[in-house]
Each structure stands twice: as C-alpha cells, then as structure tokens.
Amino acid sequence: MAHTPYYLIDKSKLLRNMEKIAYVREHSGAKALLALKCFATWSVFDFMSDYMDGTTSSSLYEVKLGRAKFGKETHAYSVAYSDDEIKEVIENADKIIFNSISQLTRFADAASGIVRGLRLNPQVSTSSFDLADPARPFSRLGEWDVAKVEAVMDRISGFMIHNNCENSDFDLFDKMLTDIEDKFRSLLSRVEWVSLGGGIHFTGENYPIDKFCARLRAFSEKYGVQVYLEPGEASITKSTTLEVTVLDTLFNGKNLAIVDSSIEAHMLDLLIYREPAKIEPNTGNHPYMICGKSCLAGDVFGEFSFENAIKVGDRISIQDAAGYTMVKKNWFNGVGMPSIVIKELDGSERVIREFTFDDYVSSLS
C-alpha cells in the first residue's frame, strides 16, 4: 500500500463515466475527445480509449502525449503556436485548430497536410468565474466577427466552440447552442465538423442524457457536420480521491486537523477559485477545519463534520480529486508530491507512480 498522500483512481467509478460517454456517442453520433488540460494520467488511457475517440490538447506537450499514449484521433489547439513548435505539433496531430485568423493565416500553408479548424467565440458562456470565462470582456479566445471568418473559410473545414463551464443544466446548454446557431448559422452550414468543447456535465447524476443526445443529433443533421465533444471533468468526475493522513490536531477557536497534503500543491483549483474540497458523508457532531501542511496561511481544504473526534493517524479521503489536480500539482514548499494509485475493477490497488526527492531536485536547477 502506498504512503499518503496519494491520488486513488477507481476504475469502477471511472467506468460509469465511460459508459455514459459511450451511450452519448452511440445515440447522438457525436465523437468524444478527452481534454488533456483537465486529466492526463496516461496509465488509464488504455482503459479510457475503448470508450472515447481520442484526445484534444492545449499545448505541444499535450498533443504529443495524446498521440503517444492514447492514440486514435488527436486534435491540436493552442491559444498561440510559436514558430519553433508548429512543425512538431502538425506531425503529431490529425486536426489543428487555430485560435485566431492571424494564426491561421500565418501557419495555414505549413498545416496544409492536415485538417484545419478555427475557434469561434459566441461571446456568451456558463462560467460564473471571470477567471475561467472564455466570453469575458476583451477575451482572446477565438473569433466572433462572422464577416472576418467568412474571408478565410477556404482554409478551414471546421470550428471549435467552447463556452460551457461546469454546466449541468441541459436547458442552459440548449439555449446557448441555439444562440450559437443564431450567431454563426451562415458559417456552420459550410463546414464538415464542429467541436462543442467541454464543460458539459452530461455524465452527472440525473442529467437528461437522451434529450442531450437528441439535441446533438439534430444539430449534426441540420448542418451536416460531425459533432465533437471534449469532456474533461465529465470523463473523470467522482472517479478519484486524494488520500491523506492527519498529522496534528489543535484548537484555535475551531478544531483544526493538519494533513500531509496541501491545496496549493495538490488541489490548486480549490485555492484559485476559493472553493472547499468535498468530504463524504460530511455528517456528525464533530466539526473540523481540514488544513494543509504548507506554510501558506490559507492552505485549507474546508470545514467538515465528522462522526468521531479526529486523531493523529486518521485517514481522510478528499473526494472528486481527478480534474485539474494531477495536471497542476507542484513542488510548493517542497511538500512531498502525492503518488498515483489505480484501484482495478477487481478491487486490487496498484501504485503506478511515486515521486521522490530526486524528482523535486530535477524539477529545478
């Protein structure tokens, strides 16, 4: 058994998401690409690839990882490509999606041998965080002027449109897709494929998945396009925990428990978006603030209720710890980086990666 902290990926829970993705693929005709910016733990790619069509990326390294470890379709997207990486991006991609008309113009000839696309920005989104809102004022993410896009239609065969963020509301998705149609109708009918990006929480509980499939199929048939989805969180939601151990307890107006992990180092999005972690069942008469071990004063997982008083040595499982965690983990304070463990379908657990002092040293210079 691995020493805590470690990320525990449960394949039986991951399978539930994969089966829902497979259902959507079958009943909507859409293809599903894993968004590597959210989850890139390639030791489960062989498992996931049976249920998905490939990967989509945000950088050269993600493109190369998708090609090498996942296989199948490899979509390349970046906010901006540099001259010294474009050749390698093209060598590892089936489709390349440009963020702007200027990047498309600059690299269209170099990318003439693969499928080319352009990102559109419908200027509306579901994001409640300005930091993550692709349609925020003065956004650099995609083109929105139809006339300008029409002038380069001979250079592309598809679009990527990403404006959903943690959207679990089908009616809102439907409304925004209608808005996309209203804005870009003249363009949609002239391309072969359209990616609707990620952020659609269609693998969540009680999501009206049949309505979702019907809406995607209707969109596909109306414009004669292959629809792509880019599930990140939807692929891995509720599949993984961060296993930690209590190192100390103290009282400073509230009961505190310090664990052998850190939100800044191991679950950075909690800090960025000022959101609490999830602990289940979160019931009982013993409230505690669960704190990280770094020296950052605000390194706090959140406040939770427990059935029993917490003591040193107790194990705690932080829920829903797959998305935007392992891809963002860092060496702040030199805090030991969590191992990565897979729980197989038969219940056995396998340590697939442990990080050592040598990894810490080699990440610096």
Could you give the CA distance from residue 179 to residue 7 in angstroms, rounded to a whole number? 39
b/e 173-197 (16+ beta carbons within 10 angstroms → b):
beebbeebeebbeebbebbebbbbb
- Which residues are known binding-site members? 233, 269
Q: What is the DSSP letter of 212?
A: H
Which DSSP string do the residues of 17-60 spell out, in sequence order?
Answer: HHHHHHHHHHHH--EEEEETTT---GGGHHHHTTT--EEE-SSH
Sequence-separated (6 or more) residues with CB below 8 Å from residue 89: 60, 63, 76, 78, 81, 96
CATH homologous superfamily, domain 12-235: Alanine racemase (3.20.20.10)
pLDDT of residue 231: 98
Residue ranges per domain, the chain?
Answer: 12-235, 240-321+329-363
Could you give the CA distance from residue 302 to residue 274 in angstroms, rounded to a whole number? 10
What averages of pLDDT result for each successive group of 10 residues across the chain (365 residues)?
Answer: 93 98 98 98 98 98 98 97 97 98 97 97 91 93 98 98 95 97 97 98 97 98 98 98 98 97 97 96 97 97 98 98 98 97 98 97 96
Which 3 state secondary structure label does DSSP give 203?
Answer: coil
b/e 269-307 (16+ beta carbons within 10 angstroms → b):
ebbeeeeebbbeeeeeeeebbbbbbbebeebbbbebebe
Fold of domain 240-321+329-363: Lyase, Ornithine Decarboxylase; Chain A, domain 1 (2.40.37)
pLDDT of residue 286: 98
Could you give the CA distance from residue 290 to residue 308 in angstroms, rounded to a whole number? 14
Is the previous residue joined to 208 through a cis bond, with omega within 30 degrees of 0? no
pLDDT of residue 128: 85
Q: Parallel, antiparallel, or unpaired: how do β-strands 73-78 and 54-56 relate? A: parallel
Could you give the CA distance from residue 175 to residue 144 in angstroms, rounded to a whole number? 18
pLDDT of residue 97: 98
Angle, alpha carbons 103-184-120 (nearest 5°): 30
Q: Specify which residues 117 forms β-bridges with.
A: 97, 158
Q: Which two tokens stand for residue 179?
A: 């808005």
Which 3 state secondary structure label does DSSP give 362?
Answer: helix
Statement: the pTM of the whole predicted model exceeds 0.75: yes
CB < 8 Å & 24+ apart, contacts of 359-364: 360/331, 360/334, 363/331, 364/331
pLDDT in tens, 162-215: 999 989 999 999 999 999 999 999 999 999 999 999 999 999 999 999 999 999
| Among the listed residues 150, 151, 160, the one whose alpha carbon sits nearest the alpha carbon of residue 115 | 160
Helix (H) or strand (E) holding 70: none
- Which residues are known binding-site members for substrate? 233, 269
Could you give the CA distance from residue 74 to residue 295 in angstroms, rounded to a whole number? 41
